[in-house]
Structure 1
Amino acid sequence: MEIEKPPVDRQVEKPAGERRGLIIINTGDGKGKSTAAFGLALRAHGRGKAVKIYQFMKVPSARFGEHRMFEQLGVAIEGLGDGFSWKSKDLERSGQLARDGWERAAATIMAGEHFMVVLDEITYPLRYGWLDLEAVLKVLRERPSHVNVVLTGRGAPLELVDLADTVTEMTLIKHHYNAGVPAQRGIED
């Protein structure tokens, strides 16, 4: 590691544009996509902003750590799916759940009552063909100008990336699974 001197005279030009709702995507094969989105949700909630979280692959009865904490904080989080595809007993039903969930999420976005709407793991139903990409893009383009939308999941479609204001790709460098260490409660849930 090379030691560097901390900056002491940082000149930053502030953007001159108006504040507006953003489209933020967390994608890639590394860990942290949902975690980063939840961090944004907590930041917004901490500022008194209305936040709604939809999880496209989690079941409505899920009680992971984030569900327990968001419930305590009064942040709405809703599972829309029936688990990841390899756990599904009926992929047709999984697709219908995703479509029904998208209708709820789209209505929430378009209503404009929330500062932030998180669409966690939405790239999976898009990639599986369960959701129409053009319909999702249309809602994102036509949403009220103050609504921020955060989308997560691997393999974000290029059309989404092109539309987004901020895109972060999480890169897998090393993962404990590869060393034989199983999922950890409080880390993966």
Structure 2
Amino acid sequence: MALLENHTDEELIDLLRQDDQQAFETLYNRYWKRMLIKAYALLGSEIDAEEVVQNTFINIWQRRDRLQLKFSFHTYLASAVKYEVMALLAKKDRYKLVDIQEAYGINTQDNSTQEYLEFVDLSLHIETTIQALPEKCRLVYRMSREESLSEKQIAEILVISPKTVQAHMTKALKTLRISLGSIYISLLL
């Protein structure tokens, strides 16, 4: 295993796709503690955080042959943990809602599956729209929205002026508004 510890994440992912369990264990050991801290910060429960991180790594192992990364493994993993946290919170809220409904004899229809599918469609539409942006514009948008960097920080990292950062963000947001507007119009028709 010591030999794999010196491999990059990309090399380990390639090995993982070939069913290399040591590559998986190396990635797990490299990231589990960071992901546990992230999950704990979001959930406030060590038990729930451990469950989320375990589920995330189990899903990665189960999907290892189909694993496609657009960005770094760390970014992929952090997003996967965030979605597992959201799923756990939604599940807990659903149980609370069911308990309240049962206690008061309220009978409502569960639209969570439909809402989830609509959320997935919307997320895919947004991602497709972002992918269609020019490279620099897309990079500025992701740095702003996904990494929460300020215009000044983005300008310093990309060695461009803050006005250029603003211009890229304006273009990205306008494109998203137009794209999302077409979805809402199609839903109304």
Same fold (TM over 0.5): no
Q: Name whichever structure is richer in helix by fraction.
A: 2
For Structure 1 versus Structure 2, the TM-score category normalised by the shorter chain is under 0.3
Q: Name whichever structure is richer in strand by fraction.
A: 1
- Return the TM-score normalized by structure 2: 0.25
- Return the TM-score normalized by structure 1: 0.25
| Higher relative contact order, chain-length normalized (CA < 8 Å, sep 6+) | 1
